[in-house]
Structure 1
Amino acid sequence: MRFKRKSKDPHIQNLAAIVGERHILYKKEDLLAYDCDGFTIHRHLPKAVVFPQNTAEVARAVKYCHDHDLPFLARGAGTGLSGGAVPLNGEVIISLVRMKRLLSVDVENRQAVVEPGFVNLKLTHAVSDQGYYYAPDPSSQYCCTIGGNVAENAGGAHCLKYGVTTNHILGLEVVLPNGDVIALGQNGIPDEPGYDLLGLLTGSEGTLGIVTKITVRILKEPEAKKTVLAYFDNVADGSQAVSDIVSAGIVPAALEMMDQVAIEGVEAAAFPVGHPKDIEALLLIEVDGIAAGIEEQVQEILEVCQKRQVREVKVAQDEQERARWWANRKTGFGAMGAISPDYLVQDGVIPRSKLPEVLQKINEISEAYGLRIANIFHAGDGNLHPLVLFDARKPGETEKALKAGSACLQACADVGGTITGEHGVGIEKVDEMRMVFNEEEINAQTDIRDVFNPKGLLNAGKLFPTPGRCAEVKQEAKSV
């Protein structure tokens, strides 16, 4: 960071004294990069951004903000898709990107300790030579941080078999909103007597505390891995194949689906693989485990797909082909930029058996709003990602996209699903929380938040709606 003249603001001066003059930003031109995260529709400037290098500095910065009633929030790589790191109230942003060390690896006990700014995929790279890997694999794993993954309880393509982030967290060091530091899951033992505070903190979206150290579970690489790609002329056939695979007793490591609009996007972007342009859906299916039995699972999958009028189904012939298929899928969100000026990523969850019904409803929503919607989703566990394509330059189109996205979430809630599987609520879906919770249930959760964050200074305005606001959101979405 370049040298700059000292601010006359005493709060800026005092925070600079904590982290050092070189590790604070406060000029408007420097703050512009921090006015949003991956949810770019809402932008607000923070008061300042500080870059602590250890837990002690985080705790001192938090305590200063607490004692002087300055709103504040934590930020990782800024890849979140629901606005969880957007400074709504002129917050001091506590950026954790300097805290990016791998502190220890314990292969014998299959665990590692990282700082929150440590990038997800780097952990797998760090332990792969010993035959291990870190299972949670969000699409942004090459740049998202494990601290951010904890905040959002991130999932990924392989969460069907291996679970989401909370299933891999063994311990946390946390700075509470008053500056106190606590440790949960001592010695990598997550099931301590008493309340499950690890579970409570994981997925709390930075509203209960700031994580400064994380003990995670690492897994042994499976002996064998096979990847299958299936093309369907009909979305309903592909959707039914998903249910049939799971009903057959097969538990794939991953079971992904893309529809025709999504396929158009990935084929126009950086990692095309030659998917047919006229198919309505594809499935990307991966099985792994001990070598014995893998071929039988693959054969069962091929048979299921053939019974559902699959046009073509094939098995990756080598690791290079498998990697190309996955690169094509994992860049799916960003690939929408190749076919649309702007897009809004949604994140709902439904029972697998409701896939055809909900996809039909999403198609109706697309027609009602006059906006294309691409569907990319973790079909195996019913985690849908409708991507609403729009052009923010056209007056009123951003508002239409937001309403269409809300209607998609209502469609998920209406079949017994919910409004987020891995991207969090943030500011994007606070009003939609009323689609799945009544006022009493929301109040019970905000009561818990108030125990940790009684002054409401930490990441205010996120996760829960303001009491009595926006009941019309549910009604409007239902009317589509």
Structure 2
Amino acid sequence: MTYECDGYTVHKHPPRAVVFPSCTQEVAAVVKYLHDQNIPFIPRGAGTGLSGGAVPLGGEVIISLVKMKRLLHVDYENRLAVVEPGFVNLKLTNSVAGKGYYYAPDPSSQYACTIGGNVGENAGGAHCLKYGVTTNHVLGLEVVLANGEIVEIGGVPDAPGYDLMGLITGSEGTLGIVTRITVRILKNPEGKKTVLAYFDSVEEASQAVSDIVAAGIIPAALEMMDKTAIEGVEAGTYPIGHPKEAEAVLLIEVDGIAAGIDDQIAKIVSVCQGRKVSAVKVAATEEERARWWANRKTAFPAMGSISPDYLVQDGVIPRSRLPEVLEKIRQISERSGLRIANVFHAGDGNLHPLILFDSRIPGETERAVRVGSEVLKVCADAGGSITGEHGVGIEKKEEMRYIFTDDELDAQLQIRSVFNPRNLLNPDKIFPKPGRCTEMRTAPVKTC
């Protein structure tokens, strides 16, 4: 029953079986057997995914990679590490911290999520504004294809040819099973400072976000929470005393050469003051900075303190459209009667509206799902996307039509058919079923 869903709990279906390989060869052997028997299967990491990508809708076999959790190699001279897919994200930073290095992608679930799962979803995190998402830090992959064949992708810097690593990263387990990952590690920055800024309106906070970037400052992280989100985190595990009257809070971090940090902080404070900030403060100690980040990074589970259930969305919009889109989300909340807490990576426009509901009330789960779709339509209409880092899975399959035409979806399905011709590998994910664009592709694809 543990494997009937992932972090997206709206749909639950038991798998036919769960298999625990401990090495690449075992993964390949299992896949080859399932392929030969025409049995569909799904790779799975820690199950922290939020779009239902690991849910076995049709009783597929789950191939759990949690036993493949070794740090295989660290090369400090060339600034890279090699890990198995079940290696937990935060453990990599902890493993290299003693030498003054860290791994940049930092999703909020980094204490539990695995790097293999991060590759599948192309996970981001609070610091992706400056450092990019998972695909920007993957140097090489070992992949088991849908027929059990083992292939090596990447590993050579700036290699010519198609970017197959970019194709696999973010493919949500539909093109292959990643069994070894070579990632980039970074040297710790010389200096780092963090600011908390409180505002009396969401609009002023949103404008401050654009003003900071327009001032030529690219923070390492630029996060925002609205009043409902603040209520949640203050009721959660790591309250830090956010003022109850605040309508929005920005958490801003800059890092880099120590000599320039204070100047950047002074500019950020000045920008916030120009947007009617009600209070602004700089973390005085590393301990205080860590508490601020713990408060932010536990925002999702903290919503359980103020609501029986919640549904996390993951839209992306142009940064300049923040005030307009947040107002439309507020209107959706008011119209639907469901509270929506906004917690998001404001610097790069990656929104995470949390729709609060009670599944014990008949019809309320379905209403929350409809509200989520409506929010994503607003993001798409603003020139954005339906996902920034959580993936499509089963949650957003139909919403793919908000941003892609039938022909564009058809082209993506043809790519999938090259790697996964029988659609045995994580079937019924990402792409909508109805319509011409979702026909099963079983015929060989001609090449030129």
Please name the residue that 1:235 is paired with: 202
Q: What is the aligned-residue identity percentage?
A: 73
The answer to whether structure 1 residue 63 and structure 2 residue 32 are counterparts is yes
Q: How does 1:306-325 map to 2 (within 5 A)?
A: 306-325=273-292
Measure the CA separation in 2 of the matches of 1:195 and 1:353.
33
Structure 1 alignment gaps of length 5 or more: 1-31, 472-480
Report deviation, 1:35: 0.1
The reply on whether 1:305 has 2:272 as its aligned counterpart is: yes
For residue 121 of structure 1, what is the aligned residue in structure 2? 90
Structure 2 CA distance, aligned partners of 1:237 and 1:111? 41
Going from structure 1 to structure 2, the CA distance change for 1:230 and 1:373 (only over 3 Å counts) comes to same
Distance of 1:420 and 1:222 partners within structure 2: 30
CA contact (8 A) 2:123 2:134 kept: yes
The aligned counterpart of 1:136 is 105
Secondary structure of 2:234's aligned partner: helix
Amino acid at match of 1:45: P
Find the counterpart in structure 2 of residue 87 from structure 1. 56
* Runs ≥4 residues deviating over 2 A: none
Contact kept, 8 Å, 2:406 with 2:436, in 1: the verdict is no
Match of 1:207 in 2: 174
Deviations 1:87-133 (A, max 9, x none): 01111100000000000000000000000000000000000000000
Distance (whole Å) between structure 1 residues aligned to residue 225 and residue 188 of structure 2: 27
Quote how far apart the aligned CAs of 1:467 are. Answer: 3.7
> Does the residue aligned with 1:293 lie in a helix, a strand or coil?
helix
The separation in 2 between residues aligned to 1:209 and 1:395, in whole angstroms, is 39
Residue 219 (structure 1) aligns with: 186
TM (normalized to structure 1)? 0.90
Name the amino acid aligned to 2:292: W
Which residue does the alignment assign to 2:17? 48
Q: Which residue of 1 aligns with 2:341?
A: 374
Alignment pair present for 1:34 and 2:3 = yes
Q: Which residue identity is paired with 2:297?
A: K
* Equivalent-residue separation in structure 2 for 1:469 and 1:250 (angstroms): 46
CA distance in structure 2 between the partners assigned to 1:252 and 1:209 by the alignment: 35
Match of 1:390 in 2: 357
Deviation per CA, 1:143-170: give whole Å up to 9, x if none: 0000000000000000000000000000
1:26 aligns with none
Aligned counterpart, 2:256: 289
1:425 equivalent in structure 2: 392
Relative distance call for 1:152 and 1:233 in structure 2 (3 A) is: same
Distance 2:140 2:383 in 1: 32
Deviation at 1:470, TM superposition (A): 12
Distance 1:139 1:204 in 2: 21
Where 1:123 maps in the other structure, the secondary structure is helix
Residue equivalent to 1:4: none
Normalised to the residue count of structure 2, the TM-score between the two structures is 0.97
Please show how residues 12-27 of structure 1 align to structure 2 within 5 Å: none
Q: Would the aligned equivalents of 2:343 and 2:352 in 1 still touch at CA under 8 Å?
A: yes
C-alpha contact (below 8 Å) 1:177/1:458 kept by paired residues:
yes
Partner of 2:445: none
Match of 2:80 in 1: 111
Q: SS at the partner of 2:216?
A: coil
Pairing partner for 2:154 from 182, 185, 198: 185
Instruction: State the alpha-carbon separation in 1 of the partners of residues 213 and 264 from structure 2.
Output: 11
> How many angstroms does 1:469 deviate by?
9.0
AA aligned to 1:333 is: F
Amino acid at match of 1:308: R
User: Who is 1:20 aligned against?
Assistant: none
- Please tell me the root mean square deviation across aligned C-alpha atoms, in Å: 1.1
Deviations 1:365-406 (A, max 9, x none): 001110000000000000000000000000000010000000
Contact 1:431 1:469 in 2 (8 A): no
Answer whether contact 1:112 1:215 (CA < 8 A) is retained.
yes
> Which residue in the other structure is 1:357 paired with?
324
Q: Deviations over 1:36-87 (max 9, x none)?
A: 0000000001000000000000000000000000010100000000000000
1:195 aligns with 2:162: yes
